[in-house]
Structure 1
Amino acid sequence: MRRFIKFYVLSLFSISSLFAQSKKYVVHTVAFYNFENLFDTIDDPNTSDDEWTPAGAQHWTKEKYEQKLKNLSRVLSEIGTAENSNAPTLIGCSEIENRGVLEDLIKQEKIVGYDYGIIHFDSPDQRGIDVALLYQKKYFRPTSFSNIPLLIYKNKPVLEENNNEDLGDVEAKIDVKNRVFTRDQLLVTGFLDNEEVHIIVNHWPSRSGGEKASSSYREAAGKLNRKIIDSLQQINPMAKAITMGDLNDGPFNKSIKMALGAKSKKVEVPEFGVYNPFEEMAEKGLGTLAFRDSWDIFDQIMMTKSFIEPDFSSFKFWKAGIFNKPYLIQTSGKYKGYPLRNSLTEAGFSDHFPVYVYLIREKL
């Protein structure tokens, strides 16, 4: 009888494994990458980009610019390919000067065949750096997009009276004299294959002046992010939203844990809540950037609860990762082990590692 029970259990296990293996899935990679100062070589009189010119402090020449484009395109072509042979379907990006640099990027040999489209708005950032979304036209069809300003001011509380209830009506609230100009939050809605998803691309206020002194600005960014998601869920309670970007805060900071309300464990995510798979990585000491030999994960991709339900008949989150291949890492000098960034002598990759998630769905 024991032998029969053992055989029966093993048979069930084998059948279950075979059934699981027989299922086929559609996989899409969603990535985010801070390009670290992707400037062209032309001086824009309306922004503070003087150092990123041939005569500027960075000696930013045509040769360096072209090498930077090649470097970035190599990375974009390889993100997530350990589990998905296709390059990322959706790529959120930050620290780009204008649409022109993205047009140059998507023409690079490594990625030109993926036929990326661009969604980009100029932001009010004083350095002239923006966020944008690249998407493979074959798989993603945008239906609407908008840039939502983050309204924060010097010497004013930012969490209580930050942004209009109506996200599209902000002109009356803009106080130019006291405003802290930072990147807008980019909201893109579209169809991934035949399924509607919403993407928010972020580059939250920096830690200039110190982490503590600037924390309220990022908390305001988290609150605006939460408001955008709330507006989507009011229209459709099951709205599938992904928010990603360089948040200039780690998964444990108030901007993410409290203002946005992200949770690290799927079972703890409430209805209409947000799941952050990168908090668990941070607990293990992993990072996307380093400062004074301390690693943190500023680059994160989070999603609404509708992406973590156990039914794979529609797109769901599978797993997340940090793309930190050896060629992206400094091999010598003071910053050995850090991301291989730009220097005065060479165009590197970035001072951040890119991050990615896989979305999967059972094939019909």
Structure 2
Amino acid sequence: MIKKLLLIFFACVAIHVSAQTSGNEIYPVAFYNVENLFDTQRDYTIQDEDFTSEGKYKWTEDRYKQKLNNLAEVISQLGREQNKDGFAILGVAEVENRKVMQDLISKTKLSQTNYQIVHQDSPDARGIDVGLIYNPKYFKVISYKVYPFTIPGSSQTRTRDILVVSGLLAGEPFSVLVNHWPSRRGEDSSPLRERAASICKHISDSIYKANPAVAIVIMGDMNDDPKDKSTSIALGAKKEMNQVKAGGLFNTLWKIHESGKGTLCYRGEWNLFDQIIISESLLKTGKSNLSYIKSEIFSRDYLFQKSGKYQGYPLRTFSGTNFLNGYSDHLPTLIYLKKGKK
């Protein structure tokens, strides 16, 4: 009788494990520019003087903790409608260092989940980096590497590295490239972002060439919209799935932006800088066992200003130097993946 019960038990376990990897599970993958997540300590190697208690923003421990808790409230909800555990992978931009990322996952409500982080300091003059938060239940990190932004013959530009993290999502080979491309400063800064896009494409092409079955996700604050030259031409991310050839890229948010939606608002117009672009391997024609389902902008009501000059804009941390106790000037974006037959 005991032997029979044990056989039934192990059969149930096998069925449960199989369900975890058979396509019944949805894997949310997200990106969020968290807008100037600085600690309160002065770091004389970067330009962080405004984010100290004596600085322009009067950045105290209390304000820092409020910022962490506000971000944690948003992050804790990402992907939860499709997966009870929330997101599997979250790329972030505008984090000062590893400490603020560690504080975010350990000193807020996010500590209830066993999130892990990947971070490496970049040469950005302001000291803002990109990073990755992931749930090890779904994503196993095997390796990571940063690729610097370089311009041949020049050493003047100091900006964010591209963070490449490779591993297994639901047991399938997966690589994510987290970006924060040069900002829109100067009369014509587009060539800088086109250069960043070309570096990103070279990385993506190399990963695909090594293994055409690997799922590749390129995410980040591109400081450009999907139709702009950097993403549509230099990176080559297409608007339509049927335009994507073997080894190509699909921009999951292009059509959403065409419908009038965006992730940040400037002078009354919505931009969609926070893009998530996927490899052909995730489409029906691709070789990955993971497949793309849909994308969205995470735009809940509490994330918007309710009154004043910027009513309807994302509720950010500061307006000028006035502390609004908000979240970010950007909205998060997500895609949803599944495993199984396409």
TM-score, shorter chain, exceeding 0.5? yes
Among 210, 215, 226, which residue is 2:201 paired with? 226
CA shift in 2, pair 1:146/1:255, >3 Å: same
Letter in 2 for 1:296: N
- CA-CA distance at 1:137 after TM superposition: 1.5
Corresponding residue number in structure 1 for 2:96:
97
Does 1:348 find its partner at 2:297?
Answer: no
Q: Which has the larger radius of gyration?
A: 1
CA contact (8 A) 2:170 2:339 kept: no
Which residue of the partner structure matches residue 28 of structure 2? 29
**Distance in 2 between residues matched to 1:132 and 1:203, nearest whole Å:** 10
Give the distance between the partners of 1:252 and 1:108, measured in 2 at CA.
39
Match of 2:292 in 1: 317
Query: Structure 1 vs Structure 2: percent identity of aligned residues?
Result: 43
Alignment correspondent of 2:59: 60
Query: 1:138: how far off?
Result: 1.7
- Cα deviation digits, residues 76-115 of structure 1 (max 9, x gap): 1101223222211100000000000001000144211221
Distance 2:288 2:232 in 1: 30
SS in 1 for 2:203: helix
Aligned counterpart, 1:273: 248
Of 334, 338, 342, which aligns to 1:360?
A: 338
CA distance in 1: counterparts of 2:143 and 2:284, whole angstroms? 26
TM-score under structure 2 length normalisation: 0.89
What is the TM-score with the length of structure 1 in the denominator?
A: 0.84
Distance 1:24 1:248, change over 3 A: closer
Compared with structure 1, are the counterparts of its residues 252 and 25 closer, same or farther at alpha carbon in structure 2 (3 Å cutoff)? same
Q: Deviations over 1:1-49 (max 9, x none)?
A: xxxxxxxxxxxxxxxxxxxxxx961111100000100000011000000
Aligned equivalent of 2:189, options 214, 217, 221: 214
1:256 aligns with 2:231: yes
Distance apart, 1:342 and its partner CA: 1.0
Matches within 5 A, 1:1-364: 25-152=24-151, 162=152, 175-176=154-155, 179-210=156-187, 213-309=188-284, 314-343=289-318, 344-362=322-340
1:128 is matched by which residue type in structure 2?
G
CA distance in 1: counterparts of 2:125 and 2:326, whole angstroms = 24
Name the amino acid aligned to 2:146. Answer: N
Counterpart Cα distance in 1 of 2:337 and 2:129: 26
Instruction: Check the 8 A contact 1:312/1:360 in 2, yes or no.
Output: no
Contact 1:38/1:95 (<8 A) preserved: yes
Q: Which runs of 5+ in 1 are unaligned?
A: 1-22, 153-161, 163-172
Contact 1:33 1:352 in 2 (8 A): yes
Q: CA deviation at 1:262?
A: 0.5
Q: Separation in 1 of the partners of 2:109 and 2:69?
A: 8
1 CA distance for matches of 2:199 and 2:313? 32
Query: SS at the partner of 2:256?
Result: helix
Following TM superposition, the consecutive aligned residue runs of length 4 or more in structure 1 with deviations greater than 3 angstroms are 310-313
* Secondary structure of the structure 2 residue equivalent to 1:186: strand
Quick one: distance in 1 between partners of 2:248 and 2:103? 38
Cα distance between partner residues in 2 of 1:180 and 1:341: 28
Check the 8 A contact 2:33/2:94 in 1, yes or no: yes
Gaps of 5+ in 2: 1-21
Superposition RMSD on alpha carbons, in Å? 1.6
